[in-house]
Structure 1
Amino acid sequence: MKKNPNPNGKIKGQPNAVDVYIGKQIRTARTFKGMSQGELGRLMGLTFQQIQKYEQGANRVSGARIVDLCRVLDEVPDYFLSDIPKEVMEQSPGYITFKENVEPINIEKPDFNRRETMELVKAYYNLPFHVRHSMLLTIKAAGKTQAEVA
């Protein structure tokens, strides 16, 4: 027998797929910064257990916590909230479907096991925030332009 979803978009006993995705983003940003869960928790005034729950998607991350995470991890909110795969959003009971005439672009997922990918990501995170943010906006704009040409 299937368990009924509750109002916060979770099936009883299972985390919401979007919360799990955001948790993975938190874990990735923390790992690239070389921080432990305990260190991140200390900087945010939380326990490592709370960070662990966020990273597993067991606890939902509020908007205020996202702002705190951005400050501590030197990220922008888009890092945690944009580019959520459609398959993940569709697993969330609160998902609002795309308009019929909008088809998301299917982008191949990066292989983080490749040395080249890790070197690129590490080099990116060694840049000052304002340079990273400008580069990110430029790359996203270039991607949109490429999609329009295709």
Structure 2
Amino acid sequence: MPHPVDVHVGKRIRHRRWLVGMTQQQLAESVGIKFQQIQKYETGANRVSASRLWDIADSLEVEISFFFEGLEHEGDSPREKTDNVPTDILGDKEALDLVRSYYAIPENQRRRLFDLARVLSEVA
């Protein structure tokens, strides 16, 4: 059974790769491995070594800490924070599509849409 941290890191890799519009094949080529290995990392089936995570972070243009955001320690059991958000929001294609579409909107319209969403969520 995969360790929860490996699963979380894998989700964060998939999330960032998807947001930048990179395929598993493109990421694999940029770090010098086969795309099947990226698949295993993203599912948490294989643990990512520190040096490989460094290369992935470089390819995805994020800091190493990005992959650990959203984790908290409670004793020896790391858990994902939820804050009323589904645990696997990074694995939800619809949510990621929404984020990508949101950032494609011009900034002034995006701000208005954000304000509308905030008001709607408060009344729901």
TM score, norm. by length of structure 1:
0.53
Match of 2:59 among 72, 86, 89: 72
| 1:118 matched residue in structure 2 | 99
Aligned with 1:15: secondary structure? coil
Distance in 2, Cα, partners of 1:38 & 1:115: 19
State the shift of 1:33 in Å: 1.2
How many residue pairs get matched? 97
Give the RMSD, CA atoms, in angstroms.
3.0
State the shift of 1:58 in Å: 0.8
- The residue correspondences of 1:1-150 to structure 2 (distance < 5 A) are 14-84=1-71, 86=72, 96=76, 107-109=83-85, 113=94, 118-119=99-100, 122=103
| 2:111 matched residue in structure 1 | none
TM score, norm. by length of structure 2:
0.63
Bigger strand fraction: 2
**Which consecutive residues of structure 2, in runs of 5 or more, have no partner in the other structure?**
105-124
Distance in 2, Cα, partners of 1:51 & 1:23: 9
**Which consecutive residues of structure 1, in runs of 5 or more, have no partner in the other structure?**
1-13, 99-104, 124-150
Distance in 2, Cα, partners of 1:59 & 1:39: 19
Per-residue CA distance 1:20-64 (angstroms, 9 max, x = gap): 111010001111111111110001000001101100101101111
Distance in 1, Cα, partners of 2:84 & 2:6: 22
Per-residue CA distance 1:108-138 (angstroms, 9 max, x = gap): 3276646996158746xxxxxxxxxxxxxxx
- Computing the radius of gyration over CA atoms, which structure comes out larger, 1 or 2? 1
Looking at both structures, which has the greater relative contact order when contacts are Cα pairs under 8 Å and sequence separation is at least 6?
2
| 1:136 matched residue in structure 2 | none
Per-residue CA distance 1:45-93 (angstroms, 9 max, x = gap): 0000110110010110111112111110001111101221x5xx67xxx
Contact 1:41–1:51 (8 Å) recurs in 2: yes
Identity among equivalent positions (%) equals 36
